[in-house]
Amino acid sequence: MSHQYKVRNAEGIYFMTLTIVGWIDIFTRIEYKSIIADSLNYCQQEKGLIVYAYCLMTNHIHLIAAAEPGYKLSEIIRDFKKFTNKQIIQQIKTNNESRAEWLLNKFEYAGKYLQRVKDYKVWQDGYHGVELVSNYFIDQKLDYIHQNPVKAGIVAESHHYLYSSAIDYADGKGLVNVVLLQ
């Protein structure tokens, strides 16, 4: 991971993007999306993750997040990616996935030459964490995250997208527990 993207301030709030290898559109099915939403909620309850905003697109997820005192954001994200990697592969193998052979081939190839990868690699390395150090930067990233599905033509209004925190910022309740940025 590039030096400029390392989490330097343990108490900071970070914008990050976690991307599927080869930008494969895996999050087109509800089963895979549910793995991500459930895992984010689990990491909040058990691992010290604080989610301020998120948006799950077809091949990546944007987060604005931090770690509770005593936890390390880099370790939480590592564990999140490791767990969801296994869950996604298991889901591909056990469900009636029309692209199963192709997906497994792509994920197997992505990890083939890496000693630390046992079988399959779903996520690209790193997450490009950028600390949000001003209200302007926070507002900019919140808008960027929440407008992603609008710009992609998935919804007309950001708060209508189920796999985003935009609904939380519009006085609703989404799938992932979100701490609103004031």
- Cβ contacts of residue 57 below 8 Å, gap of 6+? 27, 148, 149, 152
Q: Is the pLDDT of residue 2 over 50?
A: no
Beta bridge partners of 161: none
Q: What is the pLDDT of residues 142-158, one digit of tens each?
A: 999 999 999 999 999 99
**Domains, the chain, with CATH or none:** 3-169 (3.30.70.1290)
pTM (2 d.p.): 0.92
Per-residue pLDDT of 10-60, as tens digits, reads: 679 999 999 999 999 999 999 999 999 999 999 999 999 999 999 999 999
Q: What is the DSSP letter of 159?
A: G
Of the CA atoms within 13 Å of residue 29, those in its CB half-sphere come to 14
Q: Which of 2-6, 51-55, 96-100, 106-110 has the highest mean pLDDT?
A: 51-55
CA–CA distance, 17 with 24 (Å, rounded to integer): 15
Q: Which residue has the tokens 């948006």?
A: 55
